Amino acid sequence: MSERRVGIVGYGVMGRAHAYAYRTAPLIRPSATTFVPVAVSGRDAVRVGAAAASMGVEAMTDWRALVERADVDVVDICTPPGTHSLIAVAAAAAGKDVICEKPLAVTALEAAQALEAVRSAGVRHAVGFNYRRLPALSLMAQLISEGALGEIRLWRGTWLSDEFVDAAIPFDWRFERSMGGTTIADLGSHLVDLALWMVGPIVEVSATSSTFVTSRDSPEGPRMVEVDDASSALLKFAAGAQGTLEVARSAPRRPCDFVVEVNGSRGTAIFSYARLNELWVGYVDEDPRHYGLRRIRVEHPSHPQTAGWWPLGQGVGYDASLVNQAADLAAAWPDGSYEPDFVQGAAVVDVCAAMERSAAERHWIHVAP
């Protein structure tokens, strides 16, 4: 059993969640290679120290030093979106494989730079669209790719959060576009990744954005909020399907309610994250006496991404998506392929950028090829 040593850049929620995943993946799904965190970096020495202690790894305050450690094989980037590309480029230059949290970048240019860097360096690369590794969403993708739902005609995705509802939340990096990215980039990227994965390329978008709380307090006085509170978009897929996408951080009492539905010529499938162990599916050719949708408990051994998890009915949580991601990476690297990688990550950024531009220019935008 070989080890791949991981350096985690960023000790926030995502850094900690990734550490959790590396720690548990071998227990859920043993593989020949295991990922073992060895260091975590962050600017605040006290806080990164505490985080490192809880992870059982070394603390560092300079991410560049972490990236260049000889004992680091894989760099896992868990910092704010605006820093992803820079760190990825540095990691690639240091010859490290790179796992980057989503979105790959907050602009199409930065995403392209990151992609170019890993390609030039010949290192492996992955983007942390963890929801692909939830059993229910995996089953949904499987049903679509098998044709069980027929030709996909309609796709809809919404992500409703209340993160920005409170006007009293002071300005921080999340409201700074070059650091946090738009809400389209932050929440929308997950939805776009799922859409591209399940239905294929998006060719054209029409979008609109609103910022309801336009300025927020900061130690230096009020600052303009640079990102959207909410955005919505119409989508045209290359394969002929039509879609709608909506993201909002201004929906009271909606913490992270993301819903994805597809309607095909032969069936419908619906996933609602608030019930992440379930998938609703109905087919047109079923006995009309059973007219309706079935609620599949996606915990059966025959379902994807359930291997090693709990007995049917016990249910997994958010962490399972990350543990499965870590297990799939451990199984795929260093010799095999893993998706989504920077190619997919950059494609997502392209769609998000097209939405941002459409919202600004108020007309349909072709997604850059």
- Restricted to residues 17-76, the positions that interact with a copy of itself (CB under 8 A) are 17, 19-20, 23-24, 26-28, 30, 50, 53-56
For residue 37, list its beta bridge partners: 6
**Nearest-approach distance from CB 104 to a copy of itself, in angstroms:** 21
Residue 101 exposure: Cα atoms within 13 Å on the Cβ side? 26
Closest approach, Cβ 181 to a copy of itself, in A, equals 17
Residue 179 corresponds to which tokens in the numbers above?
A: 């650091």
Rg, C-alpha atoms of the chain: 20
Near a copy of itself by CB under 8 A: residue from 105, 118, 137, 230: 230
Tell me phi and psi for residue 70, to 5 degrees: -65, -30
What H or E segment, with its residue span, contains residue 19?
helix 13-28
Select 93 or 234, whichever has its Cβ closest to a copy of itself.
Answer: 234
**Interface with a copy of itself (CB under 8 A), residue from 110, 115, 254, 340:** 254
Site string for a copy of itself, 270-289 (x = CB under 8 A): ---xxxxxx--xxxx---xx
Q: Is 250 in the site for a copy of itself (CB under 8 A)?
A: yes
Hey, what are 183's tokens? 């809400």
- What stretch of H or E contains 107? none
The torsion angles phi and psi of 191, rounded to 5 degrees, stand at -65, -40
Closest CA to 202 of 236, 232, 243: 236
Residue pair 153/284 in contact (Cβ under 8 Å)? The answer is no
- Output the smallest distance, CB 333 to a copy of itself, in A: 19
Question: For residues 103 and 81, is the Cβ–Cβ distance under 8 A?
Answer: yes
Pair 260, 197: CB distance under 8 Å: no
- Pick the binder of a copy of itself from 43, 47, 119, 290 (CB under 8 A): 290
* Residue 184 beta carbon to a copy of itself: minimum distance, rounded to whole angstroms: 13
Q: Which residue, 77 or 134, has its beta carbon nearer to a copy of itself?
A: 134
Task: Rule CB under 8 A: choose which of 122, 314, 337, 369 binds a copy of itself.
Answer: 314
Interface residue with a copy of itself among 292, 307, 334, 366 (CB under 8 A) is: 292
- The C-alpha angle with vertex 202 and arms to 201 and 204, in degrees rounded to 5, equals 150
Out of 93, 169, 234, 332, name the contact with a copy of itself by CB under 8 A: 234
User: What is the smallest separation between the CB atom of 183 and a copy of itself, expressed in angstroms?
Assistant: 12
The CA distance from 306 to 348, in Å, is 27
Q: Using CB under 8 A, which of 78, 202, 316, 330 touches a copy of itself?
A: 316
The residues facing 155 across adjacent strands are 243, 262
**In 3D, which of 207, 202, 199 has the Cα closest to residue 263?**
199
Q: For residue 215, state whether it binds a copy of itself (rule: CB under 8 A).
A: no
Site for a copy of itself contains 236 (CB under 8 A): yes
* Minimal distance, residue 132 CB to a copy of itself, in Å: 16
Q: Give the shortest CB-54-to-a copy of itself separation in angstroms.
A: 4
Of 108, 184, 195, 251, the one binding a copy of itself (CB under 8 A) is: 251
**Distance between CA atoms of residues 158 and 258, nearest Å:** 5
Q: Which of 202, 189, 174 is nearest to 129 (CA)?
A: 189
Query: What is the smallest separation between the CB atom of 282 and a copy of itself, expressed in angstroms?
Result: 3
Give the DSSP letter string of 170-198. PP-GGGSHHHH--HIIIIIHHHHHHHHHH
Please report how close the Cβ of residue 280 comes to a copy of itself at its closest, in angstroms: 8
* Among 176, 193, 299, 350, interactor with a copy of itself by CB under 8 A: 299
Stretch 140-179 residues interacting with a copy of itself (CB under 8 A) = 149, 151, 153-154, 156, 158, 160-162, 165-167
